[in-house]
Structure 1
Amino acid sequence: MTRTMRAVTIESFGDPSGMVVGEAPAPAPGPGQVVLETEAIGVGGVDAVIRRGTLSGFGFGPGLVPGSEVAGRVTAVGAGVDAAWVGRRVWAFTGTSGGYVEQAVARVEDVVALPEGLSPVDAVTLGSSAPVAHFALTHAHLAAGESVLVRGAAGSIGIAAVQLAARGGASAVAVTTSSAGRGERLRALGATHVLDRAGNGDPDAPAAYDVVVDIVGGAGTPDFIDRLAPNGRMVVVGAIAGMPPADFGARLLGAFQQSRSVGTFSLDSVPAAELHAVRVAQLAAAARSELHAVVHEVLSLDQVAEAHRRMDAGTVFGRIVLVP
């Protein structure tokens, strides 16, 4: 008899109602893989972008299981994997899909043992977003004493970037967000200046920044290129508002003598061993309360469409987490 589990599939791309919770065959681990019983599933911005159908070039089609990070206990291992993993609490990356399930499969090299004191919910809030923030700031060559602007700081990547920039000795950590209430929460995490979504609203904020971390993308990206100081660096780590205009580079050329630069960043470009070491260190820091996971809400797997509606509405501060 075939064992089954509950899983979410995207039957039609676009509105959250196109996601369906149903039965699927339970997985078995292949060589180099583990299977874990999921206790928490992270709902990321990239999940929403994929579900909307706006991320092209990846061959996604109906029947896709969304989600990329989970936490839980390992129940089985494949050939070549140490059996000592069975029973351990872990965080795992499932790839660009495959996470919204009761039982997930991951390569053993994409699995990190959870430190004592760190919940599965907090693990999936930080497991991907905190490394993105860390390496984005590294990619921008942020140095102590420099100023940082985090565009779209209310999501899990932005929240991590604010904390890491403040801990790294930034002279100013400005954020863009949609409300004063969110701004106060970001100040408590290390922000020194709170701006509106257009980058205005604080007369004491720096006029220009050494580093801009852009998580939003879309039509507003060129305006934030204009916020770069001489030799300033923008790193684009997300495009939740869509791709920037095709001619956004004109802003760079128009300020040629400022020697500004714009780059993109993806964790796919980080060597596996380096990424693993940073993730282990960050989860350990979270267990010591040195890095804070901000959880907006915990919902059941059956509420996946509602989770995505809240993402689309822009009402989420931190991360929504699903539990089977």
Structure 2
Amino acid sequence: MRAVTIQRFGDPSGMVVIDTSAAAAGPGQVVIDVEAIGVGGVDAVIRRGTLSGYGFSEGLIPGSEVAGTVTAVGADVDESWVGRRVWAFTGTSGGYADRAVAKVGDVVVLPGELTSIDAVTLGSAAPVAHFALAHAHHAPGESVLVRGAAGSIGIATVELAARAGASTIAVTTSSPERGNRLRGFGATHVLDRDGGGDSAGPLFYDVIIDIVGGAGLPAFIDSLAPNGRMVVVGVVAGLPPADFGMRLLAGFQQSRSIATFSLDTIAVPTRDAARAELFAAATRGELHAVVHDILPLEQAAEAHRQMDAGTVFGRIVLVP
């Protein structure tokens, strides 16, 4: 099979396409003939070599979500999976290939009306947005700020917050043009990357969903209302400063809080049920898969260059 591997961590030039042995299903796994591959921010973080603690090594096949057709199953897996169109989470690696292996518990059957490209645009992003808002205990009538809203997670968060009855949905993004596009998905106020730029917007927010992290995160703690909650779902700009918690202590009397969120903490049945409903919402036109570009597998490095440049609105999808 063909696969993209990281031959050298760092800039995208370290990614190359190789021919390698075909994927095979182990116990509890399925093999998928891949039709579409989602390119996510975490892929870029892994490729840069800045995600520690996972034991990644050169030769890694990046990618965590694919969509396609099941062609084989491993031991103890029902043969009826063969021939089904599915979305699948492949773990922290293995997705950038024309065949992929996934645990059967990480596979969801696709509605017939949903394309594979739309599936990998929403499959991880929409559940992260859904559960992050729940983790923040967002209630109707509360204000929301989405930091780094132009990616697939950010767009889904804006749409889901609007559906949930948020009173205000502010977004940070890099240009007025991107801000205007986000208004089309439910944003009411557009801020620059530092949180300024809209004098009519509120000064404080009940909920902040942060996809960016990095050195700018502490300043946004000051934008939390009393009893406000920040949930960090990504660190595409790197980890925040080690002393970022001092910002919380400085506003001690405001009773603000900050939390992280990962889908790994959600029980598989709950996660899969939510993902299936979000896919169904997309087929009804209530949730939108925003695709920035569709590139062949051989152009994975170009996809990463665009992400590093900050020019992506929505998600880039690779096709074998």
2:52 is the counterpart of 1:56: yes
Q: 1:159 matched to which residue of 2?
A: 155
Give percent identity, aligned residues only.
73
1:66 matched to 2:69? The reply is no
Alignment of 1:96-175 (within 5 A): 96-175=92-171
C-alpha deviation, 1:164, in angstroms: 0.3
Which residue of 176, 183, 189 corresponds with 1:187?
A: 183
Aligned counterpart for 2:18 among listed residues 19, 22, 25: 22
> Aligned with 2:144: secondary structure?
strand
Between the aligned partners of 2:23 and 2:243, the Cα distance in structure 1 is 46
**Residue 35 of structure 2: SS of its match in structure 1?**
strand
- 1:44 has 2:36 as partner: no
Cα distance in 2 for partners of 1:224, 1:43 equals: 27
* Corresponding residue of 1:196: 192
Partner of 1:266: 262
> What is the letter of the counterpart of residue 10 of structure 1?
I
- Residue 226 of structure 1: CA displacement? 0.3
User: 1:277: Cα distance to partner?
Assistant: 0.6
User: What amino acid sits opposite 1:231 in the alignment?
Assistant: N
**1:212-263 alpha-carbon deviations (Å, 9 max, x no partner):** 0000001100100000000000000100111111111111100100000000
Matched ranges for 1:282-297 at <5 A: 282-297=278-293
Q: Distance in 1 between matches of 2:59 and 2:253?
A: 50
Query: How much has 1:90 moved relative to structure 2?
Result: 0.4
Question: How many residues of Structure 1 are paired with residues of Structure 2 in the alignment?
Answer: 320
> Which shifted more, 280-289 or 300-309?
280-289
In structure 1, runs of 5+ residues without a counterpart are none
Q: Distance in 2 between matches of 1:54 and 1:23?
A: 27
Aligned mates of 2:78, 2:311 — CA distance in 1: 43
Query: Paired residue for 2:310, among 291, 297, 314?
Result: 314
What corresponds to 1:8 in structure 2? 4
Q: Which string of whole-angstrom CA distances, capped at 9 and with x for unpartnered residues, describes residues 101-137 of structure 1?
A: 1100001110001001100000000000100001110
SS of 2:170 mapped into structure 1: strand
SS in 2 for 1:307: helix
Give the CA deviation at 1:80: 1.2
Question: Is 1:77 the counterpart of 2:76 in the alignment?
Answer: no
> In structure 2, what residue type is equivalent to 1:38?
V
Equivalent-residue separation in structure 1 for 2:35 and 2:284 (angstroms)? 21
5 Å matches for 1:197-276? 197-276=193-272
Give distance in 2, aligned partners of 1:178 and 1:218.
16
Distance 1:288 1:208 in 2: 34
Deviation at 1:182, TM superposition (A): 0.5
Q: Distance in 1 between matches of 2:306 and 2:293?
A: 10
Secondary structure of 1:219's match? coil
SS at match of 2:215: helix
Matching residue's letter, 1:89: R
Which deviates further from its counterpart, 210-219 or 81-90? 81-90
Counterpart CA distance in 2 for 1:69 and 1:273 is 18
Cα distance between partner residues in 2 of 1:263 and 1:28:
38
SS at match of 1:56: coil
| Cα distance in 1, alignment partners of residues 23 and 12 from structure 2 | 25
Cα distance, 1:31 vs structure 2? 1.1
The Cα RMSD (Å) is 0.5
- Residue 240 of structure 1 aligns with an amino acid whose one-letter code is V
Distance 2:184 2:78 in 1: 42
**Residues of 2 paired with 1:230 and 1:27: CA distance?**
52
Counterpart AA for 1:18: G
- Cα distance between partner residues in 2 of 1:15 and 1:262: 31
Q: 2:286 & 2:70 partners in 1: Cα distance?
A: 27
> Runs ≥4 in structure 1, deviation > 4 angstroms?
none
Alignment deviations for residues 281-320 of structure 1 (CA, whole Å, 9 cap, x no partner): 1011111111100000000000011000000000000000
Distance 1:67 1:296 in 2: 17
Q: Is the 8 A contact 1:116 1:287 kept in 2?
A: no
The normalised TM-score by structure 2 is 0.99
